[in-house]
Amino acid sequence: MCHPNPEPMTQNVSIKPGTDDTNVEFFDSHSHLNDEKFDEDRIDLINQFKKENITRFITNGYSLDSSKKAIEIAKSCDFTYATVGISPNDIPQNEDELWKQLEEIKELAKDKKVVAIGEIGLDYYWNKDNKNLQLEVFNKQIEIANELNLPIVIHTRDAVMDTLQILKDNPVNNKGVFHCCPLNRELVKEALKLNFYISFSGVVTFKNSKNADEIINMVPNDRFLIETDSPYLAPEPVRGTRNTPINVKFVADKVASAKGISIEQVAKFSYDNANRLFKNNIHKNF
């Protein structure tokens, strides 16, 4: 359970897709409960999750500070875990500070509540001027993951070919997942060849994601995860609101519809897949 928060509850959310999910358990494999948007009601919100059948979730780091916060959250609850890493959008401008932070990330990753290194990767959409540094930092964090026997959580945007090339040139021993995976056929095809998992987010529910069904059906049932990327990318029909792990049900509903299977099956497949991917430290905690 979570430690109580003295702050008053500011949100009461009850979300159930059309399918009866009363006996289904969901695993939100990627969220940012460490974001300041949750500062006022974080613990109260987390305490709702089990009532909504969200029985495991991961808080993902993307910088040194957010990674520390992710571990703090993970240690406060018995059904949540953390990842630590420096994303391509959070690389310090001072290189001395960068390498110092990477050493700290390595130490943080030894915590038993940490299940992966991430989110890490390449982003040429927001940052085009430091591509070489992004490549170097990505490689260094793969090295850390391999040293500590952890998988990685990948962020990639407008950098598909370079991302795939790094993974081919620098194999990740415990593989990993493409978080909020871009709906790119070549990326998905090659990622699966490399034995990585594909994580579907609220993006697959968006009306302008015309090829979502096709991409979902490219991924075998033993290779997909579901996520919210909270507080971002709220799925339909709650798009435009603050996203929370409770909304992972809408992602599951979309995947079920596309694959022609039940939401119960999607929940079980994705839950088992996440447990398998993050097995090293999840199993240490049970």
Tens digits of residue pLDDT in 246-260: 999 999 999 999 999
User: Tens digit of pLDDT for each residue in 88-117?
Assistant: 999 998 999 999 999 999 999 999 999 999
Please give the Cα distance from 197 to 188 (Å, whole number): 9
Report CA 148 to chain centroid distance, whole Å. 19
Taking alpha carbons only, the member of 59, 57, 55, 58 closest to residue 25 is 55
pTM of the full predicted structure? 0.91
Are the CB atoms for 221 and 195 separated by under 8 Å? no
Give the model's pLDDT for residue 23: 79
Question: Is residue 177 a contact partner of residue 277, using CB atoms and an 8 Å limit?
Answer: yes
Phi/psi at 285 (nearest 5 deg)? Answer: -95, 5
Q: Which CATH architecture has domain 26-285?
A: Alpha-Beta Barrel (3.20)
The whole-number pLDDT of residue 282 equals 72
Mean pLDDT of the residues in the chain? 92
**Rounded CA gap, 274 and 223, in Å?**
9
- Averaged pLDDT, 261-273: 98
pLDDT digits (tens, 9 = 90+) for 146-175: 999 999 999 999 999 999 999 999 999 999
- 152-157 β-sheet, strand order: 26-31, 54-60, 80-84, 114-123, 152-157, 176-178, 197-200, 224-226
pLDDT at 68: 98
Which of the residue ranges 7-16, 57-66, 177-186 would you say has the lowest mean pLDDT? 7-16
CB 126 within 8 A of CB 89: yes
Strands 114-123 and 80-84: parallel
